[in-house]
Every structure is written in structure tokens, then in C-alpha cells.
């Protein structure tokens, strides 16, 4: 808060992140120092087009002060397990829960790096059933928790030599059939990689797509599944604990993608020594992420995305 004590300081920081080589006009493409108009507007000296540092980013047309955005990004990145919307509202004194929730979800949208590279080397792939609770669905009169659902999540985990795990990718799937599993692997894992899976029929065509497939039939095997595929089982357990711990399992199925974004962002940067670097990366990606309106946040399109 000392480093970003004013809105102007925040805007200057975003300007440096968005145009590290100097201001670039979004209309004519001219690269030259802009004329600084009133209300923080930047005017192109060549075509007189006016823009703001937040236009076309995930912060586009925000009514929330930039200092609140920066404080929220710091809370998200410096706490090991993250923060819920209710916790963020309390810590920052945000007026409404809806504002805190929308702010967090926009930051989660920015946690996916567009130019990310695919996993490679030795990669474990599996699916899990993630138990989540939709609190907008009322509990039945009999007291059964009918609002708790089991959502299928595909996992891909790099296995390092001699031990340890590298990066991960996650995707929410409608079903665990090859129609959904194979596209996930093709987007998440580079061809030529060693892909270790269980004996599911969904993986039978992996070799035809350029992968070195190593299937393991788990039924009746002398060693348990968590020893054969330790990476995916460990990540699955960590994801379940994070959903239940930080968010108390209360995640609407339609919004699970954003939570997977955050989990992957954290896991893939777990070895970062500086929390300031995580904050920098998040804000750097925020100014490179397209804007999203509130209506699309609360009613996301029924498409399936991969995360990383």
C-alpha cells in the first residue's frame, strides 16, 4: 500500500507493464509518448485517439479503485492457500460480496498464460471426481445434501527425474470418454512425451497421436494406484483439500474453471522465492487478458477450457 499509495502510482505501474517499450496506440499503432489528457486519458499524438491504461484489459471499465485491485492481487498471491471472496471483502473493506467475487474471478481469468508451453517428458494423466457444493441449490427437506455434485476433472502432471513433480494442467470434463480426454491431452502434453495412464479405454489411441503410451492396469495390480501414478493422486488430493479448505467446498460447477485457473497458477509457481514476483506476474497477465463483463462472469458460456 505504501508503494501504490495513489491511483496515479497504480496507473503508472500498469502503463509500464502494458507498454514496456513505450506507449502503442491501439488504433493506428503509432509508437510515441502520448499526450496526457484529463482523467488519466492517454491521447495518441498521431491520430488523437484517446485510451486508458485499463482499456482492453481485464480491468476494463472497472469502477473499483486501482488500489483495491492491487491490494486484492497481493492478497491472492502472498497467501499460500489464497483467499475467498468473503475473506477478501472483510480484509479490504469492499462494500459488497458481489464486487469482491467478481474482482477475484477476473484475476483468476488472468492466471492463464496465453503463450504457455505444453507439458513434456514423462507425464502422468488421470481423471478425478471433485466433490463441490452449489449453495444456490436448496437442500432437500429430508436433509440430504442434494446440492453436492461430483465433477470430473482431468489431470496431467510432469514427473521429474529422479523424483518430484513439475508443472500441471487441469480441465473440467463433461464425461471421462475419449472424446474429451484425448483433446485435453493433445492440448496439455507435447507430442513425443511419455504418457503414463491407467488401463482406461479412453487412452487406447494415444500412440496413434504421437505419444509414447505406458498404460497400467490397476485392477488386481500388486501395487496400489497411488504408487503407480503418484503425481496425479497427490495433485488430486491437494486440489480437493484446497477447495474444501479455502472455499469450504462451495463452488458452483459453472465457475469451477476459474478456481482451477488459480490452483494451477499457484502449483506451477510453488517454488517461487519472492511473493513480489508472483504479484508482478499476475498484474503482467492482467493487462494482457481480454476484458470480461459481469454478465458473462455469472453466466459463463458452456464451453470447456484447459488451465495452466
At residue 107, the pLDDT reads 96
- Edge-first strand order for the sheet with 50-51 is 35-36, 42-43, 50-51
User: 31 in a domain, yes or no?
Assistant: yes
At residue 140, the pLDDT reads 54
159-177 mean pLDDT: 93
Q: For residues 135 and 13, state if they share a domain.
A: no
Does the pLDDT at position 220 exceed 60? Answer: no
Long-range contacts of the stretch 240-245 (C-beta < 8 A, 24+): 240/128, 240/130, 240/131, 242/81, 242/82, 243/130, 243/132, 245/81
Task: Give the rounded percent of residues in the chain with a pLDDT score beyond 90.
Answer: 59
Task: Give the largest CA-CA distance in the chain.
Answer: 72
Place of cell 488504433: 27
Q: For residues 42 and 167, state if they share a domain.
A: no
User: 240 in a domain, yes or no?
Assistant: yes
272-290 mean pLDDT: 90
CA–CA distance, 106 with 60 (Å, rounded to integer)? 10
Place of cell 492517454: 42
pTM for this structure?
0.85
Q: How many domains would you assign to the chain?
A: 2
At residue 260, the pLDDT reads 95
User: 72 in a domain, yes or no?
Assistant: no
At residue 304, the pLDDT reads 46
Point out the domain boundary residue: 19, 37, 53.
53
User: 302 in a domain, yes or no?
Assistant: yes
Q: For residues 142 and 43, state if they share a domain.
A: no
Q: At what angle do helices 275-286 and 7-18 cross, to 10 degrees?
A: 80
User: 117 in a domain, yes or no?
Assistant: no
- How big is the chain, counted in residues? 308
User: Which one is predicted more confidently, 10 or 37?
Assistant: 10
User: Which one is predicted more confidently, 208 or 220?
Assistant: 208
Q: For residues 46 and 131, state if they share a domain.
A: no
Q: For residues 47 and 151, state if they share a domain.
A: no
Q: For residues 130 and 43, state if they share a domain.
A: no
The cell numbers describing 173, all together, are 470434463
- What are 17-29's pLDDT values in tens digits? 999 988 988 888 8
Confidence class for position 139, pLDDT limits 50, 70, 90: low
Q: For residues 31 and 131, state if they share a domain.
A: no
Q: For residues 28 and 154, state if they share a domain.
A: no
User: 99 in a domain, yes or no?
Assistant: no
HEC string of 195-246? EEEECCHHHCCCHHHCCEEEEECCCCCCCCHHHHCHHHHHHHHHHHHHHHHH
Full residue range of the structural domain in which residue 39 is found:
1-53
Alpha helices in the chain (DSSP H): 7-18, 66-78, 85-92, 97-109, 178-188, 225-228, 230-246, 256-268, 275-286, 294-298
Q: For residues 135 and 237, state if they share a domain.
A: yes
Q: For residues 152 and 5, state if they share a domain.
A: no
Q: What is the CATH number of the domain that holds 159?
A: 3.30.420.10
Task: Classify 167 in phi/psi space as left (phi over 0), alpha (psi -120 to 50) or beta.
Answer: beta
User: 76 in a domain, yes or no?
Assistant: no
Confidence class for position 306, pLDDT limits 50, 70, 90: very low
User: 220 in a domain, yes or no?
Assistant: yes
Q: For residues 43 and 135, state if they share a domain.
A: no
- What are 35-62's pLDDT values in tens digits? 888 777 888 888 888 888 999 999 998 9
For the ranges 73-82, 127-136, 220-229, which has the lowest average pLDDT? Answer: 220-229
Q: For residues 286 and 167, state if they share a domain.
A: yes
Amino acid at each position: 500500500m505504501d508503494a501504490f499509495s495513489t491511483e496515479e502510482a497504480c496507473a503508472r505501474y500498469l502503463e509500464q507493464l502494458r507498454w514496456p517499450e513505450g506507449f502503442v496506440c491501439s488504433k493506428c499503432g503509432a509508437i510515441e509518448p502520448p499526450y496526457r489528457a484529463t482523467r488519466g486519458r492517454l491521447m495518441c499524438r498521431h491520430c488523437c485517439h484517446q485510451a486508458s491504461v485499463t482499456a482492453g484489459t481485464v480491468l476494463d471499465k472497472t469502477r473499483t479503485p486501482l488500489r483495491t485491485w492491487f491490494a486484492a492481487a497481493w492478497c491472492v498471491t502472498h497467501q499460500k492457500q489464497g483467499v475467498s471472496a468473503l475473506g477478501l471483502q472483510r480484509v479490504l473493506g469492499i462494500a459488497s460480496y458481489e464486487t469482491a467475487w467478481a474482482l477475484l474471478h477476473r484475476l483468476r481469468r488472468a492466471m492463464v498464460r496465453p503463450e504457455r508451453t505444453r507439458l513434456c517428458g514423462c507425464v502422468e494423466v488421470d481423471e478425478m471426481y471433485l466433490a463441490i457444493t452449489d449453495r444456490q441449490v436448496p437442500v432437500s427437506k429430508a436433509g440430504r445434501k442434494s446440492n453436492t455434485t461430483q465433477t470430473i476433472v482431468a489431470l496431467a502432471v510432469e514427473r521429474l527425474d529422479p523424483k518430484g513433480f513439475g508443472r500441471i494442467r487441469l480441465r473440467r470434463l463433461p464425461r471421462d470418454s475419449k472424446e474429451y480426454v484425448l483433446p485435453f491431452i493433445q492440448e496439455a502434453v507435447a507430442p513425443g512425451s511419455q504418457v503414463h495412464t491407467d488401463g482406461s479405454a479412453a487412452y487406447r489411441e494415444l500412440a496413434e497421436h504421437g505419444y509414447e503410451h505406458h498404460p497400467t492396469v490397476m485392477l488386481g495390480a500388486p501395487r496400489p494406484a497411488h504408487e503407480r501414478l503418484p503425481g496425479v493422486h497427490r495433485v488430486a488430493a491437494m486440489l480437493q483439500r484446497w477447495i474444501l479448505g479455502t472455499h469450504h467446498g462451495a463452488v458452483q460447477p459453472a465457475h469451477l474453471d476459474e478456481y482451477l485457473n488459480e490452483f494451477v497458477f499457484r502449483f506451477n509457481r510453488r517454488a517461487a522465492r519472492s511473493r513480489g514476483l508472483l504479484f508482478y506476474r499476475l498484474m503482467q497477465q492482467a493487462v494482457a487478458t481480454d476484458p470480461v463483463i459481469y454478465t458473462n462472469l455469472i453466466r459463463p458460456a458452456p464451453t470447456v477450457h484447459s488451465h495452466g
